Copies of this chain bind each other. A is one copy, B any other.
Amino acid sequence: MATILLTALAICASQTTASPTAGVPLGLELWPRSQRAARLDLDKQLAQSIDRESLAKWHDLVASVPHPAGSVGDAQVIASLKGAFEGMGLEAELHPFTAYLSSPVSASLALVAPVSQELSLVEDPLPGSPYSESEELDPYRLGWNAYSGSGDVTAGVVYANYGRLEDFARLKELGVDCTGQIVITRYGGNFRGFKAKFAEEAGAAALIIYTDPRDSGYGKGLESPEGGWANCDQIQRGSLKTLPWSGDPLTPGYEATKDAKRLNPESIALPTIPVQPVGWLAATQIMRRMRGQSVPGDWQGGMPFRYRLSGGEDLRIHLKVEQKRELVDTANVLGTLRGTESGEADPGIIIGCHHDAWVYGADDPTSGLIALLETARVLTNAAKEHGAPRRTITFAAWGAEEHGIIGSTEWVEGNLERLQAGGVMYINLDAAASGLRLGVSASPSLQTLFHGAASVVPQPQASPMGAGAVRGTPQQSALDAWRGGSNSLPNVGFLGGGSDHVSFLALAAIPSASVSARGAPGTAYHSLYDDLAWYRRVVGPDYESAALVAGIVTVAADRTARAELLPFDLAEPARATLRVLQSMMQRLTSGSGTQPELRELIASVREEIQIGERLQSKAHARAEEAGWTTGSAGRFNSLAGLLEQCWLSQNGLEGREWYKNLYTAPDESSGYASWPLPGLQKALVLATDEDIRKAVEELAVVVSNRRVFLGSVSSLLR
């Protein structure tokens, strides 16, 4: 039965890629035939307008000072960005908010026994890097994790690998007790906040998180300053917040205005134990002295000794962390390019990237922010030359992302109604440009849009980068390089967590995308070393990576802004849903009583695919022949624009009600990975028939609504 249905699906799928749109430029299927050549000319002109020198200047503008959220540098960057938007002729405004942030007061780490020795919690300046040697850096040298508890602990140590749920379970299985111990984990495998959460749940007295050289240092390539990988000092800062809502810790679901009513900080689950990030030299000084049992094979990292699970009686260390948590004022910066057909309040297409950084943040986030600024510059100029687009484009530089995606969330919470009424899509560019290997994660409805944009932007031809770079050959498009020799078009991945798209997608159900080009040989992630010197040495001084991203985003945004019909893919969301459901079906034990329900849901999704594909064919035929009346185009756009919102659930996800989108959410125990159909995912983990049945019913309502919606669009074409 399954085989027969799969074959049917394969036939359906091959029909859509076959003749009807043959010869039509990718992504322009719904464009009137007569306008396609002009559109391609404009695309080419936009891509050519991206200026590498301009990108370098934006980089100097933003990344020359340390600018963590709420700092002096932050205020300076906010003013610079507002000035930059104004200078382009955009309507610029600040969106101030007041967030509950944490900041370091002091920290120390020392061996107590068998020897007494202070361990370093700061990064040495790198020879040749003016940025890491700068005196203005002094307040920012200390490595720290935002929202750590404050405390003073002397105890033995336990090593917990990556500190994932399964790692702590394994420790228990192996008879190692974390109670009262200082747990050491390496970075990687999950969001660091979960390391702290699981350590605290396991009874740990404190947590040290280090960067293992196998994962990020000499295990990958040459170290800074000769190469780009983590040296023994490099420390990854970062937030530990894992609350069941995104944004400001004290204002879940509403905007963190100056005088908003706030939760009592005591009432929310921020870490209580001290947590300290360190480089691997400090970790070596502790871990080489551990004397307990040898680790399981895949727990071994790259330091030059066998790792052990526990330190033994003779090893004692002392960790003291003092932090303060307080309300801090900062702001988002918004620049608006007004569309001719958008309403006054419509945000339209939103392109965003945060502006706050752990220190300089040349790569994270600024490599994305410069692509955003260059996109804004080119599109503003295009508006002058070719007239304003139909749809408004909003450029947003978000504040306080690093503490927990705060600025974007507060803006979405404060503008939810007008966003859901007049928002078209969201493109996120956090740390988007560190290599030439293009990657797009997006709502499936945007897949064709990005295929189309990548098909008209050339893949950069040369770059001084080493391993991991994808170089184009002459005349190769970014799409050619992206598909990497495959005949089929690349599937965009589901969006996970960890950046500013989260509230757009999970709270407002706006079609969202994250675009990046990565692959440079190194990482300075969240460290002092992520400065312009590192970036220009490792990613390159030529700005080809940022130009690639800016080119694709410029074309995708301008096409969407100027299109008569929203260029959304109406069948791909159901296809992606089907793939997820089919893999879930395989995970269902054969004894489960819920197979029939799931099978019915799958059949229903298959119908949605067929309706979507018929609709696309008809819409395409109309574009080829008669064209659309303004009225029918408007109704098509309203319906297509709202289709994503069918996934919204009033009640939200179980246990984290802030998340309203039943289609996708970040997963619950790593924080970064994508979790398509999260309600059903969770029910499958719990694995009771009742939970699964409930989740399937909930999804069945959505799928049925989407079919009705698609049916309404279809009726416009009769």
Residues of A whose CB lies within 8 Å of any CB of B are 213, 218-223, 227, 229, 294, 296-297, 300, 302-306, 466-467, 521
Contact of A227 with B467 in the complex, beta carbons under 8 Å? no
Contact of B467 with A306 in the complex, beta carbons under 8 Å? no
Could you say which of B222, B305, B466 contacts A306, with CB atoms under 8 Å apart? B222
When C-beta atoms are compared, the residue in chain B nearest to A308 turns out to be B222
When C-beta atoms are compared, the residue in chain B nearest to A280 turns out to be B304
Contact of A218 with B467 in the complex, beta carbons under 8 Å? no
Contact of B304 with A218 in the complex, beta carbons under 8 Å? yes
Q: Which of A222, A229, A296 has its CB near the most chain B CB atoms (within 10 A)?
A: A222
Could you name 17 residue pairs across A and B whose Cβ atoms are closer than 8 Å? A213-B304, A218-B300, A218-B305, A218-B306, A220-B297, A221-B294, A221-B306, A222-B294, A223-B306, A229-B306, A294-B466, A294-B467, A294-B521, A296-B467, A297-B467, A302-B302, A303-B304
Q: A218 CA to B287 CA in the complex, in Å?
A: 13
Could you say which of B227, B304, B467 contacts A302, with CB atoms under 8 Å apart? B304
Taking the closest CB of chain B, its distance from the CB of A7, in whole angstroms, is: 17
- List the B side residues contacting A229 at CB < 8 Å: 306
Taking the closest CB of chain B, its distance from the CB of A220, in whole angstroms, is: 8
Q: Give 13 A-B pairs besides A218-B306, A219-B300, A221-B294 with Cβ atoms closer than 8 angstroms.
A: A213-B304, A218-B304, A218-B305, A220-B297, A223-B306, A227-B294, A227-B306, A294-B521, A296-B467, A297-B467, A302-B302, A302-B304, A303-B304
- List the B side residues contacting A303 at CB < 8 Å: 304
A-B pairs, top 9 by smallest CB distance, nearest first, are: A304-B304, A218-B306, A222-B294, A222-B306, A221-B294, A218-B305, A219-B300, A221-B306, A303-B304
When C-beta atoms are compared, the residue in chain B nearest to A221 turns out to be B294
When C-beta atoms are compared, the residue in chain B nearest to A295 turns out to be B221
Taking the closest CB of chain B, its distance from the CB of A3, in whole angstroms, is: 15
- List the B side residues contacting A305 at CB < 8 Å: 218
Q: A218 CA to B306 CA in the complex, in Å?
A: 5
- List the B side residues contacting A220 at CB < 8 Å: 297
Q: A117 CA to B220 CA in the complex, in Å?
A: 30
Q: A303 CA to B217 CA in the complex, in Å?
A: 12
- List the B side residues contacting A304 at CB < 8 Å: 213, 218, 302-304
- List the B side residues contacting A296 at CB < 8 Å: 467
- List the B side residues contacting A223 at CB < 8 Å: 306
Taking the closest CB of chain B, its distance from the CB of A285, in whole angstroms, is: 13
Q: A218 CA to B227 CA in the complex, in Å?
A: 26
When C-beta atoms are compared, the residue in chain B nearest to A304 turns out to be B304
- List the B side residues contacting A302 at CB < 8 Å: 302, 304
When C-beta atoms are compared, the residue in chain B nearest to A284 turns out to be B304
- List the B side residues contacting A306 at CB < 8 Å: 218, 221-223, 227, 229
Taking the closest CB of chain B, its distance from the CB of A108, in whole angstroms, is: 26
Taking the closest CB of chain B, its distance from the CB of A296, in whole angstroms, is: 8
When C-beta atoms are compared, the residue in chain B nearest to A466 turns out to be B294
- List the B side residues contacting A218 at CB < 8 Å: 300, 304-306
Q: Which of A213, A305, A306 has its CB near the most chain B CB atoms (within 10 A)?
A: A306
Q: A615 CA to B297 CA in the complex, in Å?
A: 48
- List the B side residues contacting A227 at CB < 8 Å: 294, 306
Q: A222 CA to B293 CA in the complex, in Å?
A: 9
Taking the closest CB of chain B, its distance from the CB of A576, in whole angstroms, is: 32
When C-beta atoms are compared, the residue in chain B nearest to A229 turns out to be B306
Q: A302 CA to B294 CA in the complex, in Å?
A: 16
- List the B side residues contacting A294 at CB < 8 Å: 221-222, 227, 466-467, 521
Q: A227 CA to B220 CA in the complex, in Å?
A: 28
Taking the closest CB of chain B, its distance from the CB of A290, in whole angstroms, is: 11
When C-beta atoms are compared, the residue in chain B nearest to A219 turns out to be B300
Taking the closest CB of chain B, its distance from the CB of A83, in whole angstroms, is: 42
When C-beta atoms are compared, the residue in chain B nearest to A213 turns out to be B304
Taking the closest CB of chain B, its distance from the CB of A384, in whole angstroms, is: 47
Q: A711 CA to B492 CA in the complex, in Å?
A: 61
- List the B side residues contacting A521 at CB < 8 Å: 294
- List the B side residues contacting A300 at CB < 8 Å: 218-219
Q: A418 CA to B227 CA in the complex, in Å?
A: 66
- List the B side residues contacting A297 at CB < 8 Å: 220, 467
- List the B side residues contacting A219 at CB < 8 Å: 300
When C-beta atoms are compared, the residue in chain B nearest to A218 turns out to be B306
- List the B side residues contacting A221 at CB < 8 Å: 294, 306
Taking the closest CB of chain B, its distance from the CB of A284, in whole angstroms, is: 8
Taking the closest CB of chain B, its distance from the CB of A225, in whole angstroms, is: 13
Taking the closest CB of chain B, its distance from the CB of A219, in whole angstroms, is: 6
Q: A286 CA to B303 CA in the complex, in Å?
A: 18
Q: A297 CA to B466 CA in the complex, in Å?
A: 12
Taking the closest CB of chain B, its distance from the CB of A538, in whole angstroms, is: 13
Taking the closest CB of chain B, its distance from the CB of A226, in whole angstroms, is: 9
Taking the closest CB of chain B, its distance from the CB of A170, in whole angstroms, is: 14
Q: A303 CA to B218 CA in the complex, in Å?
A: 9
Q: A467 CA to B294 CA in the complex, in Å?
A: 9
- List the B side residues contacting A467 at CB < 8 Å: 294, 296-297
Q: Which of A218, A223, A294, A300 has its CB near the most chain B CB atoms (within 10 A)?
A: A294
- List the B side residues contacting A222 at CB < 8 Å: 294, 306
Q: A467 CA to B297 CA in the complex, in Å?
A: 9
Taking the closest CB of chain B, its distance from the CB of A233, in whole angstroms, is: 14
Q: A287 CA to B234 CA in the complex, in Å?
A: 23
Taking the closest CB of chain B, its distance from the CB of A301, in whole angstroms, is: 10
Taking the closest CB of chain B, its distance from the CB of A222, in whole angstroms, is: 5
Taking the closest CB of chain B, its distance from the CB of A176, in whole angstroms, is: 15
Q: A223 CA to B306 CA in the complex, in Å?
A: 8
Q: A297 CA to B302 CA in the complex, in Å?
A: 14
Taking the closest CB of chain B, its distance from the CB of A234, in whole angstroms, is: 14
When C-beta atoms are compared, the residue in chain B nearest to A305 turns out to be B218
Taking the closest CB of chain B, its distance from the CB of A229, in whole angstroms, is: 8
